[in-house]
């Protein structure tokens, strides 16, 4: 949990008295299952987690929104609320807030001057959605009415996704923003990305926990690889559509795959179809409390992401395999876009320390990197958690 006194002191150092300021929390997310199908109209099953970004924010009478981030050496960005807002170069973190302010303003939301101080417990660029977390946080601070009800929260998620797609230039799906906007403690979010409807699914893990395993591998080229998969899926859909009028690639069947003669495109489509079925089975397993079945589905998902979709890599595979070989771990898989980032393991609580020791050693020996491990619990979506 964040230390409110420390946050208030930091705020005061940069902006003066924090009296009247509000404290916000925006979570990161894991994805239990349903990987790389949110841009194919699929069902996905993410959950908001207890690591994320905290903010202390206060309205001012000035003509700018000033944001200072502890995670970027207290760097301050200043966004003019009446003037033109253009993207900053080189994937600067400030682009997320700039885009959010611009898109909210263009959509007609009233924008006031603000002072905002940020502090994160979420590792960056690790596949835990630190960008969607920041987007939703800034949207919630600037336009708190977006927190009012589920419909407003869906609008928030869609606006944040547009910012990432158009302003920042990353062609992500809707899963991350929706899980952060609509997360619920002790639940996963079963999201139908074809029509943006959802249902919360209770998670009862009993003596098991979800352990996040961070490869800490610097992720280069991830966007180009992501866009490559996106266009491979578009290609697969176009080939199938010549024979049958389906709307999304997840609506394809094994029989439709016979129309794809390119081996690579065939493998991508086969992953998408099988992953969609696994999501439905995982929901059933969670509802029946069948954790062994859930674990098996996680394993199958990882194999498919490694062999068919080819978005894993030596780092993720090493951590997943090491985790799986420890007694008490009943399933593990990479999550998010891949090519580094994080994996999750479903592990008995008595086996956690053993798993961490073993997997860290194997991983360091094989890759030279030092992995990080976080025991994670689920959390509510972005919201106000206190006042000064």
**Residue 175 touching ligand GLA (CB under 6 A):** yes
Bridge partner residues of 211 (DSSP): 345, 375
**Residue 11 touching ligand GLA (CB under 6 A):** no
- Residue pair 98/88 in contact (Cβ under 8 Å)? The answer is yes
Length of the chain in residues, anyone? 388
**Residue 282 touching ligand GLA (CB under 6 A):** no
Residue 368 CA to residue 357 CA, distance in Å, equals 15
Residue 234 CA to residue 207 CA, distance in Å, equals 42
The distance of closest approach from Cβ of residue 228 to ligand GLA in the complex, given in angstroms and rounded to an integer, is 13
Nearer to ligand GLA, 8 or 179 (CB): 179
Per rule CB under 6 A, count of chain residues that contact ligand GLA: 10
**Residue 182 touching ligand GLA (CB under 6 A):** no
Closest Cα partner for 91 from 216, 232, 219?
Answer: 219
Instruction: Tell me whether residue 299 is one of the annotated catalytic residues.
Output: no
As given in the structure block, the two tokens for residue 175 are 């899963």
Residue with tokens 């682009």: 95
**Site residues (CB under 6 A) for ligand GLA, limited to 37-76:** 38-39
**Considering 38, 71, 149, 176, which one is annotated as catalytic?**
176
- Residue pair 126/342 in contact (Cβ under 8 Å)? The answer is yes
**Residue 232 touching ligand GLA (CB under 6 A):** no
Nearer to ligand GLA, 70 or 194 (CB): 194
| Span interacting with ligand GLA, options 30-38, 197-205, 324-332, 370-378, rule CB under 6 A | 30-38
Nearer to ligand GLA, 10 or 308 (CB): 308
HSE (side-chain half, CA atoms, 13 Å) at 114: 27
Helix (H) or strand (E) holding 161: helix 150-162
Nearer to ligand GLA, 336 or 383 (CB): 336
Q: Which residues bind ligand GLA (CB under 6 A)?
A: 35-36, 38-39, 172-173, 175-176, 336-337
């Amino acid at each position: 949990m964040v230390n409110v006194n420390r946050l208030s002191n930091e705020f005061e150092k940069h902006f003066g008295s924090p009296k009247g300021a509000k404290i916000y929390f925006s979570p990161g997310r894991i994805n239990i299952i349903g990987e790389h199908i949110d841009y194919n109209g699929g069902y996905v099953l993410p959950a908001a987690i207890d690591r994320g970004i905290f903010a202390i924010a206060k309205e001012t009478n000035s003509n700018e929104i000033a944001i200072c981030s502890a995670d970027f050496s207290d760097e301050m960005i200043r966004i003019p609320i009446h003037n033109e807002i253009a993207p900053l170069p080189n994937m600067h973190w400030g682009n997320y807030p700039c885009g959010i302010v611009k898109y909210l303003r263009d959509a007609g939301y009233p924008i006031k001057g603000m002072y905002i101080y940020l502090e994160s417990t979420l590792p960056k660029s690790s596949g835990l959605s630190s960008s969607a977390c920041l987007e939703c946080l800034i949207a919630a601070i600037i336009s708190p009415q977006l927190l009012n009800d589920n419909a407003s929260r869906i609008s928030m998620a869609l606006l944040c996704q547009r910012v990432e797609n158009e302003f920042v230039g990353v062609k992500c799906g809707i899963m991350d923003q929706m899980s952060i906007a609509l997360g619920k403690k002790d639940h996963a979010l079963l999201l139908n990305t074809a029509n943006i409807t959802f249902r919360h699914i209770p998670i009862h893990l009993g003596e098991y926990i979800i352990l996040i395993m961070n490869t800490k591998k610097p992720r280069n080229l991830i966007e180009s690889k992501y866009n490559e998969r996106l266009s491979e899926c578009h290609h697969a859909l176009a080939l199938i559509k010549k024979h049958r009028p389906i709307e999304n690639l997840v609506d394809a069947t094994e029989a439709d795959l016979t129309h794809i003669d390119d081996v690579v495109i065939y493998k991508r489509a086969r992953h998408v179809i099988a992953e969609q079925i696994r999501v439905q089975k995982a929901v059933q397993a969670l509802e029946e409390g069948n954790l062994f079945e859930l674990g098996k589905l996680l394993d199958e998902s990882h194999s498919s992401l490694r062999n068919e979709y080819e978005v894993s890599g030596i780092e993720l595979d090493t951590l997943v395999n090491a985790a799986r070989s420890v007694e008490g771990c009943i399933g593990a898989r990479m999550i998010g876009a891949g090519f580094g980032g994080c994996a999750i393991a479903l592990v008995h609580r008595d086996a956690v320390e053993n798993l961490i020791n073993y997997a860290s050693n194997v991983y360091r020996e094989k890759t030279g990197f030092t992995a990080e491990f976080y025991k994670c619990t689920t959390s509510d979506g972005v919201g106000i958690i206190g006042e000064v």
